[in-house]
Structure 1
């Protein structure tokens, strides 16, 4: 296999040139400036979670300009970063469907017994506020499917405030599905049980896979009806509303900066960027004249690493718009995502993506596109020399991505050292997997569970189903010979040590769409047992678990998995 072929299997290609729509004009004249927030006025209209020992702060309000216009009515917003926006409580009765005990204890410093408190559901669904909370909706824009979409913003999310835990970590708490904001456009501000179950489970699953991600504390489900047209075909259905309380070190994204450059609000842009660097990129000196270049370099590097990590677990985000790409390079905004089953670089989890722009094989390329848009947003703040430096940094993105991809896949195959033939063995395997449609997750996992002797002899039992599928390829034995040679080149290594290494990086369980769908169907009937089982399983994805095996989570996907369709509508 040639070096060119290898590059193709690493899913990277040059960005095609494109022409984008002109900047969307704002039709309203409301302005917003930095102001003293009137807390007494705000507090007079809200209820508090007095019995939950969790107090939030509001550093964002103190540091960044707020919208002067009050109210949740839809409008064009200018001159600020956030708008005050109170959540709209879901209609009762409410059900606490799931809680992450890891987030509860290790991020929020709360005792497990707190979930028994009657106030807890109100706190995590928007019916009540934590002490110190001043809910905000964030204003941002973005390129969606390659085109500038103008003002977007938190259309159904409310940032409650920041919590600093006993380890000194600062986490921003946000409700998703908590009602209308000034940025809701034509939406109703709600999320439904289908998408909320998926977001809750996948946020936690990705964390335990070791992928940088937002987290999820809780899932609350209501009987309140929410109407959706899931496949945009006029077939409107009624679903139940739900709210997820999610957390991140920051929710700022590329679109947070884009909107300010597009509207010429350069003072606000500088203020926001300085705040982000001071709070989240502490190794960058605030008085460094090149701090924006250094910041851009860090985001380029970490974005490349994040997408390579996605690829290593077969994760396709589904909607890689600039408004969904974090400045901290964590995975955010779980929508029509999917974990690839049969290996296919053209796998598209989102049925709304007719052209396959966000296929799994295109994610690295889309990352480059989004970083180009980030550089365009930074451009007004850069000197000509700094712009030139930043453009050179961006040109290095493919190499950074390829190197990290290579390192991760070497580890997935148990390789030590740096053999010249490693790249060929990786690319060869991916080609065999593509030709045979072998399962991505279980091919690597089962390679970690068989001995080299079994591989060489071809004694693969039918129960080792993914490897069995792979072994049907006419060149499988040729690949095995190359693979074994690479492993045996490290004399100090042993087969048992290889298996142990590989089982620590190749999961046995990921959140496949058919598994999530099964849990969702039960949840719609108020049976959250499978949500709980999946949550438990995905907390230890590298460990064999009896309940998960009985549920078939490591078995060949059922035939119905092929018919599942996930869209942007949620």
Structure 2
């Protein structure tokens, strides 16, 4: 092996394993994982690698250039002394209990410790596992590019997330029906190597509670506390309650960040909720173009709109309620779990208000701040208004701009003809209220702008940007992947050399598959 990792496996050393070793689809009981080797690829090719994650794992750029690196992170070579595995979990999908789900196209290679941090490393799209059901366990290039770019972009936005180490072609073709319309076609296969402190989900605990397997449930909770919440102390009923409370706090922090930048996950099933409060499983996600609380990027959710932008905080609460039900068998007392859930609701209101005030550059507390924010959110949805551009331009407003405020954000409107007299009047009145409110603040206009620009990104991974990179990659050109990767490492900076990306979604992308509409197809 041309490179060395400090392997420190815990998950598959300390938790109960599936005694059946064959890689066949089945119900797995009283076990947290099943062993499964990645499928060997025919002609792997490394497209991109994160130098930051290389460093986090104790590797170098030179390591990434070796054949061994390519083979390990495309599944052709198993690291010495390791046993790859797929995790068992269940979950609620679109509000309905789906039973056993599990890692159907993700295989855990190993855990690596470096600089007192432990990282679990997964290959996504590496082949079948016992949890693949009727699927092939593979992934295609388009979804792999989207996950690779977005997970790293989210990290640099300051949002808790899983990370990505590498993006590779498998050299194999994968059959997919992109829009589930009966027109499947072959696409380029790809593999993302992704990392996190843990890939445990709410559904990891739900599966055992659903089967009345309190023994394995307690074993998993105790393991999770030991390795990821050790500051809470030794396992006990009180520790379990504190554990649930911290999961709720982390989940709240995560979703508030999503709302801040206009990120819509698209499929917030309980099996896609990280127990560590990380953004996980980048499927049919999207970024708000027009500010719209009712928008979802997921075609599967078009009718119900369960996972629309405006509902995301409520869905986190609903998911936490399901997790509370899963933890109840080892706590055997409902009231402390209910208290945590009630606190979540109160904290959500306060956290959202604080977040929105930061976007508006407001630090002092005024009784009418909530109304000012509510009025803004209402007016923003009266016409198609680009969220990212609007809030970035808003930082240039001063307390003297009650008459000029609307013109300073004019470039954020998709169709200025929509700003008819009644809407224009509402905007003018709002800017009067806003500029009067700014007069109460003590920060200078320059200081306020700097603070606002630190929470309102100038650049996000708009779907059309990712689609352009996908289109080029399909032709064998990967330069745009790197350009976007570098751009999104500094999302709050002006980056005048990249000004071409600080624009509204182009008309050609409005109804294009991959830009405005996405499915769960991988």
TM-score of the alignment, normalized to the shorter chain, above 0.5: yes
CA distance in 2 between counterparts of 1:410 and 1:567 reads 34
**Structure 1 residue 383 displacement after superposition:** 2.7
**Structure 1 residue 114 displacement after superposition:** 1.8
CA distances 1:79-121 after superposition (whole Å, capped 9, x unpaired): 10011110012221x221111111112x112222222212221
Of the three residues 411, 423, 428, the one matched with 2:358 is: 411
Residues 228-377 of structure 1: matches in 2 within 5 Å?
228-353=176-301, 354-377=303-326
Structure 1 position 397 matched with structure 2 position 349 = no
CA distances 1:345-391 after superposition (whole Å, capped 9, x unpaired): 1101101113111111111121121111101111111233xx21111
Structure 1 position 567 matched with structure 2 position 500 = no
CA distance in 1 between counterparts of 2:406 and 2:507 reads 27
CA distance in 2 between counterparts of 1:361 and 1:501 reads 25
Partner of 1:108: 57
Residues 78-477 of structure 1: matches in 2 within 5 Å?
78-92=29-43, 94-105=44-55, 107-166=56-115, 168-353=116-301, 354-384=303-333, 387-454=334-401, 456-458=403-405, 460=407, 464-466=411-413, 473-477=424-428
> 1:228 and 1:418, CA in 2 relative to 1: closer, same or farther beyond 3 A?
same
- Contact 1:460 1:468 survives alignment (8 Å): no
CA distance in 2 between counterparts of 1:473 and 1:98 reads 47
CA distance in 1 between counterparts of 2:34 and 2:235 reads 30
**Structure 1 residue 332 displacement after superposition:** 0.3
Residues 513-532 of structure 1: matches in 2 within 5 Å?
513-532=463-482
> 1:328 and 1:415, CA in 2 relative to 1: closer, same or farther beyond 3 A?
same
CA distance in 1 between counterparts of 2:12 and 2:414 reads 55
- Contact 1:96 1:220 survives alignment (8 Å): yes
CA distance in 2 between counterparts of 1:462 and 1:373 reads 42
CA RMSD, 1 decimal? 1.8
**Structure 1 residue 458 displacement after superposition:** 4.5
Secondary structure at the residue paired with 1:160? Answer: strand
Secondary structure at the residue paired with 2:17? Answer: coil
CA distance in 2 between counterparts of 1:455 and 1:280 reads 50
- Contact 2:400 2:435 survives alignment (8 Å): no
- Contact 1:57 1:132 survives alignment (8 Å): no
Of the three residues 15, 19, 26, the one matched with 1:68 is: 19
- Contact 1:316 1:360 survives alignment (8 Å): yes
- Contact 1:55 1:133 survives alignment (8 Å): no
CA distances 1:119-178 after superposition (whole Å, capped 9, x unpaired): 221121111123443211000011101111111100111111111112x11111111000
CA distance in 1 between counterparts of 2:159 and 2:397 reads 26
**Structure 1 residue 203 displacement after superposition:** 0.2
> 1:458 and 1:128, CA in 2 relative to 1: closer, same or farther beyond 3 A?
same
**Structure 1 residue 330 displacement after superposition:** 0.7
> 1:509 and 1:206, CA in 2 relative to 1: closer, same or farther beyond 3 A?
same
CA distance in 2 between counterparts of 1:535 and 1:466 reads 27
- Contact 1:90 1:125 survives alignment (8 Å): yes
> 1:380 and 1:465, CA in 2 relative to 1: closer, same or farther beyond 3 A?
closer
**Structure 1 residue 475 displacement after superposition:** 1.3
CA distances 1:312-335 after superposition (whole Å, capped 9, x unpaired): 110110000000001111100010
- Contact 2:89 2:101 survives alignment (8 Å): yes
**Structure 1 residue 452 displacement after superposition:** 4.4
**Structure 1 residue 265 displacement after superposition:** 1.4
CA distance in 2 between counterparts of 1:480 and 1:132 reads 64
CA distance in 1 between counterparts of 2:306 and 2:332 reads 33
CA distances 1:404-423 after superposition (whole Å, capped 9, x unpaired): 11111111111112122221
Partner of 1:20: none
Runs (5+) with no aligned partner, structure 2? none
- Contact 2:32 2:87 survives alignment (8 Å): yes
Secondary structure at the residue paired with 2:230? Answer: coil
**Structure 1 residue 424 displacement after superposition:** 1.6
**Structure 1 residue 222 displacement after superposition:** 2.9
CA distance in 2 between counterparts of 1:222 and 1:125 reads 7
> 1:459 and 1:141, CA in 2 relative to 1: closer, same or farther beyond 3 A?
closer
CA distance in 1 between counterparts of 2:299 and 2:424 reads 30
| Number of residue pairs the alignment of both structures matches | 513
- Contact 1:340 1:440 survives alignment (8 Å): yes
**Structure 1 residue 464 displacement after superposition:** 3.5
Partner of 1:29: none
CA distance in 2 between counterparts of 1:289 and 1:255 reads 21
> 1:291 and 1:465, CA in 2 relative to 1: closer, same or farther beyond 3 A?
closer
**Structure 1 residue 547 displacement after superposition:** 3.9
**Structure 1 residue 287 displacement after superposition:** 4.6
CA distance in 2 between counterparts of 1:195 and 1:335 reads 7
Partner of 1:508: 458
- Contact 2:414 2:504 survives alignment (8 Å): no
Runs (5+) with no aligned partner, structure 1? 1-49
- Contact 2:87 2:102 survives alignment (8 Å): yes
